[in-house]
Amino acid sequence: MERGYILALDQGTTSSRAILFDRNSRIAGMVQKELRQYFPQPGWVEQDAEEIWQSQLEVARAVMRQTGVSAENLAAIGITNQRETTVIWEKRTGKPISKAIVWQCRRTAPLVAGLKEQGLDGMIRAKTGLLLDAYFSGTKIQWLLDHVAGARAKAERGDLLFGTIDSWLIWNLTGGRLHATDYSNASRTLLFNIHTLSWDPELLSVFNIPPSLLPEVRPSGGSFGETLPELLGGAVPLAGAAGDQQAALFGQACFRPGMAKNTYGTGCFMLMNTGAKAVASEKGLVTTIAWGLDKRVEYALEGSVFVAGAALQWLRDGLGILESAAESESRAAQVEDSGGVYFVPAFVGLGAPYWDMEARGAILGLTRGTGRAQIIRAALESLAFQTRDVLEAMEGDASLKLRALRVDGGASANNFLMQFQADILGTRVERPAITETTALGAAYLAGLAVGFWSGTKELEKNWLLQQSFQPRMPEMVRNRLYEGWQEAVGRVLSAKP
Ligand code: G3P
């Protein structure tokens, strides 16, 4: 029986997907299921961890059924996931102690403010490469231990386990046999020292987290056990795991220092490979582990933008002025410009490069002439403006000018947005043939680990350009539009400069 496929499980913020890749990196099948989001208070975001696991299992089974691919045809499974989202569960029963706190959730902003007041930012930044922000897992774990009845006592007895979504899936897929994560996910917790590659006792004490809660950290490409046979009709090796943005960098074949990608998902995340060097940012980016292969890790600089596709989702579900995200392309093209409207989607504060947990969203510049098309267009344009904010910071930190930006994720299919992006950056934008690069990266990590692919050289050859977008906007217009954006952002920041 030929093991001709790798199954990638891509557990994202808005959906769970399962994608089958063949040896030529082609998609042989894909099934996706949307995930319910809970917003119990302003700025709070939760998900049901059981639903995350069940939906992931369901789509994995469905894609195998639809394609006729059985467990014996799978060389390995690679896992990739929304990062930072925090689950705590009972070791004995596997039951989560509460809803998962999603990366976007701002409930721990007061805890973060307290840590800042103690002057801990510098130490935390030096060890973890991250900024003190509610985005990362550290304060989310602390919050759960302090707010779920009995949780802290149980944690101290060693009865609870913490995991980001990769760990949660690995635990369930292995039937509770393995509690593990990979370097890239560990590097998003605020608890992991990215230089010594270990959980840091000083950080654990700052966040008041018992070490027994933590998963074992393994290389991103390597063994994570195997699936319980009854789940997928046979045991399949779990051979790769990485946070979704790092996986996308790998899937875009950005293997060399200086190569960068931008993923337009729920949020928007630009990562640049910095190789064996952990480059400290001075411009509001974070330093993160890109992946660990064997004992070697590589690093990346990251600009994390919290709301991108989620702004379109809000226009669809919140305002009801859009049928689907895809419709935004034709709507935006109905008008010549946004008519001076700016949409700052700071629904959950602002991430890079502003890091303002208290900022909230705004639509500015409304006139009697403003209609649905201008608002939709302004929402799309905000993705491009936020990307420019981050690219400028990245080029400053890395002291280089990017030759081209590789893009992927749902909204990269939007030609209007990609052209506007190239125009606002003044840089070429390159869209590959496969834009499911997050899942592809997870498949690559797993496939390399089991010898399904020979090495990164072979994968580089599989990267094919589908379309490139050249900047064509006059510089004066580009600058005027961007200045308008900066002014709009200035209006929503909590501390006025
Ligand atoms: O850090 C959060 C990120 O991993 C979420 O990615 O694709 O679900 O927007 P996405």
Mutate to test the pocket of ligand 1, among 56, 244, 252, 386 (most ligand atoms within 8 A of CB): 244
Q: What backbone phi and psi angles, to 5 degrees, belong to 79? A: -115, 140
Whole-number Å distance, alpha carbon 344 to ligand 1 midpoint, is 19
Which distant-in-sequence residues (6+ apart) come within 8 Å of 344 by Cβ? 361, 362, 363, 364, 382, 488, 489, 491, 492
pLDDT of residue 400: 78
| Ligand 1 site, residue 13, Cβ cutoff 6 A | yes
Whole-number Å distance, alpha carbon 244 to ligand 1 midpoint, is 6
Q: What backbone phi and psi angles, to 5 degrees, belong to 299? A: -115, 165
pLDDT of residue 199: 98
| Ligand 1 site, residue 83, Cβ cutoff 6 A | yes
Question: How does DSSP classify residue 98?
Answer: S
Whole-number Å distance, alpha carbon 306 to ligand 1 midpoint, is 8
Instruction: Tell how strand 342-344 and strand 296-305 pair up.
Output: unpaired
pLDDT of residue 414: 95
Describe the crossing of helices 109-117 and 137-147 by its angle, rounded to 10 degrees: 110
Instruction: Determine which residue's CA is closest to atom 1 belonging to ligand 1.
Output: 83
pLDDT digits (tens, 9 = 90+) for 255-295: 999 899 999 998 999 999 999 999 999 989 999 999 998 77
Whole-number Å distance, alpha carbon 267 to ligand 1 midpoint, is 6
Alpha-carbon distance 413 to 462, whole Å?
20
Q: Are 189 and 138 within 8 A, CB to CB?
A: yes
Give per-residue burial for 119-151: e unless 16+ CB within 10 Å, then b: ebeeebbebbbbbbbbbbbbbbbbbbbeebeeb
Alpha-carbon distance 409 to 248, whole Å?
9
pTM: 0.93
Burial class (CB in 10 A: 0-12, 13-18, 19+), 366: middle
pLDDT of residue 496: 57
269: three-class secondary structure by DSSP: strand
| Ligand 1 site, residue 133, Cβ cutoff 6 A | no
Backbone region of residue 175 per phi and psi (left: phi > 0; alpha: psi in -120 to 50; beta: other values)? left
Residues of the chain with pLDDT under 70: 1, 496-497
**Tokens at 223, concatenated:** 């063994």
Average pLDDT, whole number, for the chain? 95
Alpha-carbon distance 406 to 434, whole Å?
11
pLDDT of residue 408: 95
- Please provide the distance, in angstroms rounded to a whole number, between the alpha carbons at the two ends of the chain: 65
Q: Are 147 and 108 within 8 A, CB to CB?
A: no
311: three-class secondary structure by DSSP: helix
| Ligand 1 site, residue 84, Cβ cutoff 6 A | yes
| Ligand 1 site, residue 436, Cβ cutoff 6 A | no
Whole-number Å distance, alpha carbon 305 to ligand 1 midpoint, is 9
pLDDT of residue 490: 96
ipTM of the complex: 0.97
| Ligand 1 site, residue 17, Cβ cutoff 6 A | no
